[in-house]
Amino acid sequence: MEIIHVAAECYPVAKAGGLGDVVGALPKYQNKLGHFAKVVMPMYRTRFLLQNEWELVHEGGQNLGQSFFHYSVIKEKTNKLGFDLFLIDIKGLLDREKIYGYDDDSERFVAFQIATCDWISKWNHRPDIIHVHDYHAGLIPFMMKHCPAFSNLSLIPSVLTIHNAQYQGWMGWDKSYLLPAYDDWKWGMLDWKNNINPLASAVKCAWKVNTVSYSYMDELKLSANGLENLFEYEKGKCIGILNGIDNEVWDPETDEHLIKNFSVENFEKGKRKNKKELCKQFGLDIEKPLFTFIGRLVGEKAADILPEAISSSVYQHQGNCNFLILGSGDPEVEVQLENLKHLLSGYVSTYIGYSEPLSHIMYAGADFLLMPSRVEPCGLNQMYALRYGTIPIVRNVGGLRDTVVDYGDWQGFGIRFDNASVWDITYSVGRAIDLYFNKREQMNQMISFMMGIDHSWETSAQQYISLYQALK
């Protein structure tokens, strides 16, 4: 099958979070299964763009409201990512360093989607599936079905994967002039609560919809940032497919970012070497259990309660723990964490910012990874942690619930708690400290077990293929 993935992120071209990891891996594994999966994304001005070779495959033009824009499509020449990668360039809109966060994001992503549809509609053949990811590509199923300009795409099945339903890309109806001409009777397919809502539109118009874990699909019917009724209504075409991880990128035996590579055979030594480097670099004590947090410092991840939870843990557990936080986001949380680093120096350290290499060393060198998320559609960090022998401490939600079993339960290997609260985190840190100092043998058995858990993409990639096949 020929599958076209359309997304705002794709690792290693441009990544802000797990969406990038998934779009950089799923197509590769679909191709390994004998298919032709390709990725179309905006051409931001990233390092990957400058460091690779490209060929021009198409040039075209379309309208965004009253103004005409010119776009070009380039393709990476060597297929080094394991799939054909196409970037769409629109001068003045997509030629920026960052992926998101501009005042004109609505215009940018609408133009990207128009260009994508325009280009594909000019092909001499039709792909088998158009697979869109999150709201940035969410207007495409509508455009394919209801915009006369793209009518030759109307019979191609479209699939929407929801990585995060918190962000929906709302815009007022005053922006409807940005869209290509569409069948006026179908305006309701764009609308949710008197706004144009690209995510809701995709849920209505795509042939199939999936979330990135089973539990998140159920949770959306109860809490979906205003879309609960829509998910209840459309449940017939919605399913959950758990994300995988790219075992080629995330392999402690070969990961080039690590100070020392290791496997399940020698994890104790290997992890300690990585921990030693982290402790040296961040002024922490190698003899104490090292707790880490890696991620966006936002409410969804419960980052706002982290500073208090960390200080409460350090005090309540008599300083028998160290914390290292890597992330950026809410400026207030960033300041609180920086203050804590000075106040509890020797116990707490931070790296405010984004660092792919450091994240790898942290997955390898830490003893425990904290994920108190309020919402977690899937979560990849906990799966990376498992593979790198770092015990996840997670809230009982979404994909965390689907991938981590508490060590108190049968065949358990992690720590799970119910509430995103300072008390629950402090208590769970206490359980982890007890494991570390008093139950080392049990802890090592858990590590051996979890390093062998298979979360590779093979299974999930096949599940997506079965989903597409059911649409043909």
- Binding site residues, ligand ADP, CB under 6 A: 17-19, 21, 294-296, 326-328, 354-356, 359, 378-381
Least distance to ligand GLC, CB of residue 24, Å: 11
Least distance to ligand GLC, CB of residue 23, Å: 9
**Among 30, 31, 164, 428, which residue interacts with ligand GLC (rule: CB under 6 A)?**
164
Residues in 241-260 at the binding interface with ligand GLC, rule: CB under 6 A: 243
Least distance to ligand ADP, CB of residue 391, Å: 16
Q: Which is nearer to ligand ADP, 14 or 378 (CB)?
A: 378
Nearest to 86 by CA among 36, 140, 32, 35: 36
The answer to the question of residue 467 lying near ligand GLC (CB under 6 A) is no
Q: Can you tell me the distance from the alpha carbon of 326 to that of 350, in angstroms, rounded to the nearest whole number? A: 6
The answer to the question of residue 450 lying near ligand GLC (CB under 6 A) is no
Which one of ligand ADP, ligand GLC, none is in contact with 334 (Cβ closer than 5 to 8 A by kind)?
A: none
Q: Which residue is nearest to ligand ADP (CB)?
A: 18
Which one of ligand ADP, ligand GLC, none is in contact with 356 (Cβ closer than 5 to 8 A by kind)?
A: ligand ADP
Tokens 């209801």 correspond to what residue? Answer: 146
Query: What is the largest distance, in Å, between two alpha-carbon atoms of the chain?
Result: 69
Least distance to ligand ADP, CB of residue 294, Å: 5
Which one of ligand ADP, ligand GLC, none is in contact with 309 (Cβ closer than 5 to 8 A by kind)?
A: none
- Could you give the string, one character per residue 351-380, with x where binding to ligand GLC holds by CB under 6 A and - elsewhere? -------------------------xxxxx
Which one of ligand ADP, ligand GLC, none is in contact with 235 (Cβ closer than 5 to 8 A by kind)?
A: none
- Could you give the string, one character per residue 55-94, with x where binding to ligand GLC holds by CB under 6 A and - elsewhere? ----------------------------------------
Q: Which residue is nearest to ligand GLC (CB)?
A: 18
Least distance to ligand ADP, CB of residue 390, Å: 12
Least distance to ligand ADP, CB of residue 217, Å: 16
Binding site for ligand GLC (CB under 6 A): 17-19, 22, 163-164, 212, 243, 376-380, 399
